[in-house]
Amino acid sequence: MTGIWTRNIAPLLALGLLVGCGMQVKSEKDGEKGEKVAISTPLGELKANTSEVNPEDTGLTVYPGSRLKPKTDKNEGRANINLNTPWFGLKVVAISYETDAAPDKVWEYYKAEMNKKYGRTLECRPGSPDLKIEKRNKDELVCFDENNKKGHNRDVFISADNMELKSGSKERQRIVSVKPTSKGTEFALVYVVTRGEKNTM
């Protein structure tokens, strides 16, 4: 799930530029479950919750028999983040699971669900023709966006250990990241919504 966080939550770093006088911080830990943090400034607000994250909020179901991925020191395994400023907004819901099922079974399960619920789903995996799709307009969802310059070896970004299903648009997208493990599969359900100054979340 690291790649997803890197690409989609980078705008959160901008919050550091917004904090200053009048900043209010509220933090509430819920034991092993996680933490709730709210930061308010005159220029924006950030809310992050790692204790109460519902898979329903991603708009996707959970693969039958899956287990929540255990929390580690480096990764909570789940988060619900909302960033609101007068200029832009970002909402990210992400939750990680593990299962004994093979990666192809998990892949086909979510491919069918996303195609049915949200229309054409991109298959960002080795050998997929979707890897060659180029963006035709700013809101079109592709496997590789403008951050991946032409000429780069795309195998660096997509491999058997880093496969993604994507549906929606640049401003409202759902992603399922699938990774094989020695015991089965790890996968993450992610919902990302962004807005500009004139749009609503």
Q: What percent of the chain has pLDDT over 70?
A: 65
Name, of 44-48, 83-87, 181-185, the range with top average pLDDT: 181-185
Burial zone of 70 (CB within 10 Å; 0-12 exposed, 13-18 middle, 19+ buried): exposed
Report how far residue 26's alpha carbon sits from residue 59's, in angstroms, rounded to the nearest whole number. Answer: 28
Report how far residue 7's alpha carbon sits from residue 135's, in angstroms, rounded to the nearest whole number. Answer: 17
Report how far residue 61's alpha carbon sits from residue 166's, in angstroms, rounded to the nearest whole number. Answer: 15
Q: In this structure, are residues 94 and 1 in contact, taking their beta carbons and an 8 Å threshold?
A: yes
Q: Which residue has the higher pLDDT, 141 or 77?
A: 141
Concatenate the DSSP letters of all residues of 35-56 into one string: EEEEEEETTEEEEEESS---GG
Q: In this structure, are residues 88 and 11 in contact, taking their beta carbons and an 8 Å threshold?
A: yes
Of 66, 62, 9, which is closest to residue 181 (Cα–Cα)?
66
Report how far residue 43's alpha carbon sits from residue 21's, in angstroms, rounded to the nearest whole number. Answer: 10
Q: Which residue has the higher pLDDT, 201 or 71?
A: 71
Q: In this structure, are residues 12 and 40 in contact, taking their beta carbons and an 8 Å threshold?
A: no
User: What's the pLDDT at 27?
Assistant: 58
Could you tell me which residues are beta bridge partners of residue 189? 95, 176
Average pLDDT over residues 56-71: 92
pLDDT reading at 8 higher than 70: no
**Residue 146 amino acid letter:** E
Copy the structure tokens of residue 154. 């795309």
User: What's the pLDDT at 10?
Assistant: 42
User: What's the pLDDT at 75?
Assistant: 61
Report how far residue 144's alpha carbon sits from residue 134's, in angstroms, rounded to the nearest whole number. Answer: 8
pLDDT reading at 105 higher than 50: yes
User: What's the pLDDT at 151?
Assistant: 44
Q: What percent of the chain has pLDDT over 90?
A: 36
Q: Is the dihedral of CA 192, 123, 62, 116 positive or negative?
A: positive
User: What's the pLDDT at 79?
Assistant: 85
Q: What are phi and psi of 18, to 5 degrees?
A: -95, -20
Q: Which residue has the higher pLDDT, 149 or 45?
A: 45
Domain boundaries, the chain: 2-195
The whole-model pTM stands at: 0.75
